[in-house]
Homo-oligomer: A and B are copies of this chain.
Amino acid sequence: MENLPIEPLNNEASCHNDSTERKSHHSQEVKKALVSRLNRIEGQVRGVKRLVENDTYCDDVLTQIAAIQSALNGLGKLLLEGHMKSCVVERIQEGDTEVLDELLITVKKLMK
A contact residues vs B (CB 8 Å cutoff): 1-5, 7, 9, 15, 21-26, 31, 34-35, 38-39, 41-42, 45-46, 48-50, 52-59, 61-63, 65-66, 68-69, 72-73, 75-77, 79-85, 87-90, 92-95, 97, 100, 102-112
Chain B residues whose C-beta falls within 8 Å of the C-beta of A55 in the assembled complex: 9, 23-26
Please tell me how many copies of the chain the complex holds: 4
Chain B residues whose C-beta falls within 8 Å of the C-beta of A69 in the assembled complex: 69, 72-73, 76
B31 touches A42 (CB 8 A): no
Residue of B nearest to A13 (CB): B55
Chain B residues whose C-beta falls within 8 Å of the C-beta of A111 in the assembled complex: 73, 76-77, 80, 107, 110-111
A61 touches B79 (CB 8 A): yes
A109 and B105 CA atoms in complex are apart in Å by 17
Residue of B nearest to A15 (CB): B57
A52 touches B77 (CB 8 A): no
B89 touches A4 (CB 8 A): no
